[in-house]
């Protein structure tokens, strides 16, 4: 009974700590991103760097450390990578060919806090964000590793504290990518944050029960699921590098009519329109080219620093 109460306290501590850490950037980004032009793009690049560094410097090395020497590391990484690849393809296919039960009600977006209690909207928002899907899988794997490997109470609290430190760059990257690159509103980001915060306690309690009842595959799953989640994070990070951010300043061609174009159109069949040069906004509105690179590198430094003290 005492062991169960201790496990429940650890699970609640991880849940509320992760939720509080994630709510801070949600509040700051929602306030400052509207005031500062170019800040969402810089924050998105920062999130990509943090996510890539977390996958390569924290998750994958920790997964290799907990695995046995004869385990196939590459196979676990490929499984996690392909899981996210096919999940993204399935979500895109579902969006193109929506079933009738999704067409009856516009459930794609959340508009108030009451939507957090709508299970259909919560699932739809989660499936629409590959970042959130990978993070939920990663959070579940963190809990599975603790639940399958921890037996002493002192070691349990030490690993819980290390897990919270490990989650700081993960939560920051998830929130910044969803808010600044995918353009999700604060209700949708909070919904995914709640699921991510609950994924680690659920994985921990589930594998703790498996471990208590001496369930056979628990040890193997606890070792390999961390590398699988590392492969999923690696896919999301590489996909985010190639995805333009929400509201990014891409060249737009505006049709203009000039005297010369009108004279040329008179010589040809029908009226035509000439197009002006790409309009990307004034120099004061667009961020400097090096800002995105510096933000990306700064994001990489955070998990790199944590890897030395973790």
DSSP for 170-184, written as a single string:
HHHHHHHIIIIIS--
Count the domains in the chain: 1
Residue 256 DSSP label = E
Helix/strand number for the chain, H first, E second: 12, 2
Using alpha carbons only, give the angle 308, 301, 155 rounded to the nearest 5 degrees: 35
Is there a contact between 52 and 230 (Cβ–Cβ < 8 Å)?
Answer: no
Using pLDDT thresholds of 50, 70 and 90, give the confidence band for residue 57. Answer: confident
| Residue 206 to residue 143: CA distance in whole angstroms | 9
| Residue 120 to residue 228: CA distance in whole angstroms | 27
| Residue 87 to residue 115: CA distance in whole angstroms | 24
Q: Report the share of the chain in percent with pLDDT over 70.
A: 67
Tokens describing residue 259: 């005297």
Using pLDDT thresholds of 50, 70 and 90, give the confidence band for residue 275. Answer: very low
List, for residues 98-151, the tens digit of each pLDDT value: 444 444 444 467 888 888 888 888 888 888 777 788 888 888 887 877 776 655
Strand-pair partners of 3: none
Tokens describing residue 189: 């980001």
Longest dimension (CA), the chain: 90
**For the chain, how big is the Rg over CA atoms in Å?**
23
Q: Give backbone dihedrals phi and psi of 161, rounded to 5 degrees, phi first.
A: -65, -40
pLDDT value of residue 260? 43
Tokens describing residue 152: 């002493």
> Higher model confidence: residue 298 or residue 87?
298
């Amino acid at each position: 009974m005492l062991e169960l109460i201790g496990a429940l306290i650890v699970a609640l501590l991880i849940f509320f700590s992760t939720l509080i850490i994630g709510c801070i950037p949600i509040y700051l980004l929602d306030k400052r991103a509207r005031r500062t032009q170019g800040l969402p793009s810089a924050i998105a690049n920062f999130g990509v760097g943090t996510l890539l560094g977390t996958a390569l410097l924290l998750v994958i090395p920790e997964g290799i450390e907990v695995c046995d020497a004869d385990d196939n590391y590459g196979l676990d990484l490929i499984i996690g990578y392909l899981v996210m690849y096919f999940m993204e393809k399935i979500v895109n296919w579902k969006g193109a060919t929506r079933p009738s039960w999704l067409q009856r009600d516009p459930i794609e977006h959340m508009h108030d806090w009451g939507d957090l209690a709508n299970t259909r909207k919560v699932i739809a928002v989660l499936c629409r964000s590959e970042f959130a899907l990978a993070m939920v899988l990663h959070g579940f794997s963190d809990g599975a590793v603790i639940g399958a490997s921890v037996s002493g109470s002192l070691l349990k609290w030490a690993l819980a504290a290390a897990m919270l430190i490990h989650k700081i760059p993960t939560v920051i990257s998830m929130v910044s990518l969803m808010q600044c690159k995918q353009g999700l509103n604060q209700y949708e980001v909070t919904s995914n944050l709640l699921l991510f915060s609950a994924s680690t306690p659920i994985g921990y309690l589930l594998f703790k029960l498996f471990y208590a009842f001496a369930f056979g595959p628990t040890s193997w799953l606890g070792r390999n699921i961390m590398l699988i989640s590392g492969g999923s994070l690696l896919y999301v990070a590489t996909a985010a590098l190639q995805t333009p951010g929400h509201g990014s300043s891409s060249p737009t061609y505006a049709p203009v009519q000039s005297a010369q174009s009108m004279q040329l159109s008179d010589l040809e069949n029908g009226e035509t329109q000439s197009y002006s040069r790409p309009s990307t906004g004034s120099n004061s509105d667009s961020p400097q080219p090096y800002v995105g690179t510096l933000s990306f590198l700064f994001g990489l430094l955070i998990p790199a620093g944590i890897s030395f003290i973790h």
